Every structure is written in structure tokens, then in C-alpha cells.
Amino acid sequence: MTENKKIVLVVGAGDATGGAIAKRFAREGYVACVTRRSADKLQPLVDSIQAAGGEAHGFACDARKEDEVIALIEQIESERGPIEAFVFNIGANVPCSILEETARKYFKIWEMACFSGFLNAREVAKRMATRRRGTILFTGATAGLRGAAGFAAFAGAKHGIRALAQSMARELGPMNIHVAHVVVDGAIDTDFIRDNFPTKYALKDQDGILDPAHIADNYWYLHSQPRDAWTFELDLRPWNETW
């Protein structure tokens, strides 16, 4: 391990927000450690960061499995360096009527969007508490503030991750660990939105959908804040998004 290297760990480093956050931190000299269940899907992101002159490493990890999470954090801390910033960015936004929702799917959505956040944040927090420094950022959604019809499982999970963030912020703040929750409300510039919601995607030219790079700028801003003025919750939405 190289002690002078700073690590950002992005759990759920997809092609949009998570990947953009990893790139943003890498631009600032951080080593980007990124995870998904399939390591192969991370290679384009890793290649992109390296091509831009940064350092990145991809890891396959099922964020819902405690033994895999513990092993991942140990590997990164021992082989790459101290995790200075941690970003939890797993979504699981799956709509379904409460009249048709199954216990199996409800539990799976909670596992992905809430329980896995607890597992990963707990392991990272243990290391940060020893060093008395660090940043832990959770990607939330409006579903964490109010539950919409047809999104009972997603809303339950996102309410849970917000409550986790609130509790951790109060406990870890005195240890010099900044915990924040980011509410991302609105369509994001992704292939999924382009292919499935062309009318919404057409608003891109009017700044009517969220640019992942601009979302990432706000995560860097949170990490860079002086501790006398830490933000706990940051709400990001396009100018035309309804509240």
C-alpha cells in the first residue's frame, strides 16, 4: 500500500452518476476504486479514467453480501490506500403496485438500496473512525422524502438509507467524518432515458435533465467542504422539475 495515495470508493459505479463521480475524484488525484457485481462492466470506466491520466481499479462485489464487503474493504485498504471518501450509489428503482408486490422483490429492493448501504458504510466507517477523518456520501432520491404511488418498495428502501445517513452523521460528525445524503430528483442523461423516454430526453438541450458530470461536481463539493459548514442534505434537480 502507498500511504500518500487517497482513495475514493464508489459502490454502484454505473455508466452515469457513479462513473461520473469516480472520474471527478480521479481528476483531483484520488485513486478511484469502483465496484459492481460484474467486474467486466467496469472496464470501460477504468480505461476512461486511466486514459485521462488518472488511476482506477475495478472490483467485483455483491454489496449485499457481508463477507464480500468485508473482504473488499480490507483489500482496498491494504493494497491501495486509505479510503478518504466513500460513495454509495445503488438505486433499485423498480415500480410495482402494492397490490401486486411480492415479498421476494420487496426484500431484494431493500437489500440493494438500503441494507447494502449499511454494510459498506459500516466497514468504511470503522477505518475512518480510527483515522478521525473521511467523507461518506449516500445517493438518495425524492422517494426517500415521500413515497409515490406504485413505489412502495423503493420508497421504503430510500427512506431507510436516508435515516441511516442521519444517524451516522450525528454519530460520526464528532469524529471528523462528514456524512451527507444527496437527493437526486429528475431524469438523468443516460441511455436508458434516451431510449425509453424520448420526450423527456429531448429536454436535454434546455438543461431539462440532470447531467451526471454536474451531479458529480456536487459530490466533490460536499467532500471539499470545511467542517465548520458541512451540508447534510443536498437536493439536486433541473430547473423545470416539479417539487
2 located within any domain: no
242 located within any domain: no
Q: How many domains does the chain have?
A: 1
HSE-CB at 183 with a 13 A cutoff on CA atoms is 18
Look at residue 2 in the predicted model and tell me its pLDDT: 52
220 located within any domain: yes
Q: 42 φ, ψ to 5°?
A: -85, -15
55 located within any domain: yes
Look at residue 175 in the predicted model and tell me its pLDDT: 98
Look at residue 72 in the predicted model and tell me its pLDDT: 97
Look at residue 3 in the predicted model and tell me its pLDDT: 58
Amino acid identity of residue 24, one-letter, is R
Could you give the CA distance from residue 120 to residue 116 in angstroms, rounded to a whole number?
6
Look at residue 54 in the predicted model and tell me its pLDDT: 97
Give average pLDDT by consecutive 10-residue segment, the chain, 243 residues: 82 91 97 92 95 96 96 96 97 89 96 96 98 97 88 94 98 98 89 84 89 96 97 94 75
Look at residue 194 in the predicted model and tell me its pLDDT: 86
1 located within any domain: no
Q: Give the range of the structural domain holding residue 156, as residue numbers without chain letter.
A: 7-236
207 located within any domain: yes
142 located within any domain: yes
pLDDT tens, residue by residue, 140-166 = 988 888 889 999 999 999 999 999 999
CATH number of the domain that residue 63 is part of: 3.40.50.720
Could you give the CA distance from residue 238 to residue 181 in angstroms, rounded to a whole number?
18
65 located within any domain: yes
Could you give the CA distance from residue 67 to residue 61 in angstroms, rounded to a whole number?
10
* pTM to 2 decimal places: 0.94
